[in-house]
Amino acid sequence: MTDDSLSIYVLSDSVGGTASNITNAALSQFPDVQCNFKIFSFIREKDQLMCILKKAQEANAVILHTFVEKELISTIHDFCFEHELTCFDILNPIIKEIRARTNIEPQFKPGAMHKLDEDYFDRIGAMEFAVTYDDGKDPKGFLEADIVILGISRTSKTPLSIYLANQNYKVANLPLMPESEIPKELWQVDPKKIVGLTNDESKLSSIRKERMISYGMNPDTPYSSKERIQKEIKYAEDLYKKLGCQIINVSNKSIEETAAIIVNSFAAQI
C-alpha cells in the first residue's frame, strides 16, 4: 500500500526558484500525489535555518536546498543525517565538478543567478501583470498583454499565466462560462496572441469533483456534471473558432508542456 501524500520543503539563501522548478518538474509526473510544498527563501542565518529544519522534522519532509554558504550547508546536512531526513543538495555537486574540471574557484555568492538586471525587473513586472489581470479582473489588460489565455474552469489558466510570466511574458487570462459576457476588448486583440484552453469531458468532471471534495462539499453538483461540462466545452470551442485563435487541449499536458507549445508557436510567427 502506498502513501500518496508527502511534504517537500525547498530552502534557499535566495529566491528558491531553482529548486522549486526542479521540484515542480518532478511532481508533474505524479498528478495524483497530494503534496505539502513549501518554499523558504532568503535564509542567511543559522538560527533561522534551524527553526525551519525543526518544522521539516515534524513534517518528515523531503528537503531540497540551494545553499552555497559552507556553514549553512554543514548545518542542514548534519541535521538531516541525525534525524534521518532525506535531503538533496541541488547546486554543490555541480559546482564541485565544474571546479574540478576548470581549476577555477567559484564565488559562493548567494543569489548570484538572480542579478538585479533589466531581465530581472522585466520578469517581476510580468509577474505583477499576471496577478493584476488574472481571471479577467480588468479587460483593459487584454490590450496590453503579450498573451491572452482563455478557458473554462479548471483548465489551469492561472498556473499557466504565472509560469509564462516567469519567462517574461505579460499574460492576462479570462474564465469562460456560457452565461458570461465577453469583454469588447477581447475582440480587439490580435488572434495570434490568444490561446484557448480546453480539456476532456471525463478529466474535467474528475478534477471538479475532487475540487468539491477538497471544499468539504458534495462532489455531484451541476458544476461537475457531464451535461454542464459538455455545454461549457462547446461554448468555449465555438468562441475560439470565432476568434481564430490557437486551441490547446491540456488533458494530458503539464503546465511546462503547454507553455512550451505556446512559446514555440509564438517563435514560429516571428
Q: Which domains does the chain have, with CATH numbers?
A: 5-102 (3.40.50.2300), 118-269 (3.40.50)
Mean pLDDT over residues 214-240, rounded? 92
At residue 114, the pLDDT reads: 52
Alpha-carbon span 146 to 59, nearest angstrom: 41
- In terms of Cβ atoms closer than 10 Å to its own Cβ (0-12, 13-18, 19+), residue 38 is middle
Q: How many CA atoms lie within 13 A of 115 on its CB side?
A: 4
249's grid cell: 487541449
Indicate the pTM of the whole model.
0.61
Q: Is-contact 11 43, C-beta < 8 A?
A: yes
30's grid cell: 505524479
At residue 1, the pLDDT reads: 33
Average pLDDT, the chain: 89
Q: Which residue has the higher pLDDT, 184 or 24?
A: 184
Q: Which ranges of 196-254 would DSSP assign to H, the alpha helix?
A: 201-214, 226-243
With bands split at pLDDT 50, 70 and 90, how would you rate the model's confidence at 165?
A: very high
Question: Please, which residues bridge with residue 39 across strands?
Answer: 10
Mean pLDDT over residues 153-175, rounded? 93
3-17, 43-57, 107-121: segment of lowest average pLDDT = 107-121
At residue 5, the pLDDT reads: 67
- In terms of Cβ atoms closer than 10 Å to its own Cβ (0-12, 13-18, 19+), residue 246 is middle
Alpha-carbon span 36 to 34, nearest angstrom: 7
CA end-to-end span of the chain:
51
With bands split at pLDDT 50, 70 and 90, how would you rate the model's confidence at 62?
A: very high
For residue 111, which amino acid is it? G
Alpha-carbon span 214 to 93, nearest angstrom: 40
Mean pLDDT over residues 128-142, rounded? 94
At residue 112, the pLDDT reads: 58
| pLDDT above 70: percentage of residues in the chain | 94
Q: Which residue has the higher pLDDT, 13 or 194?
A: 194
Mean pLDDT over residues 21-29, rounded? 85
Alpha-carbon span 162 to 123, nearest angstrom: 10
With bands split at pLDDT 50, 70 and 90, how would you rate the model's confidence at 216?
A: confident
With bands split at pLDDT 50, 70 and 90, how would you rate the model's confidence at 11?
A: very high
At residue 41, the pLDDT reads: 83
Mean pLDDT over residues 236-261, rounded? 94
At residue 115, the pLDDT reads: 54
Question: Please, which residues bridge with residue 197 across strands?
Answer: 151, 248
At residue 25, the pLDDT reads: 85
62's grid cell: 523531503
Backbone angles phi, psi at 234, to 5 degrees: -65, -45
Alpha-carbon span 143 to 121, nearest angstrom: 21
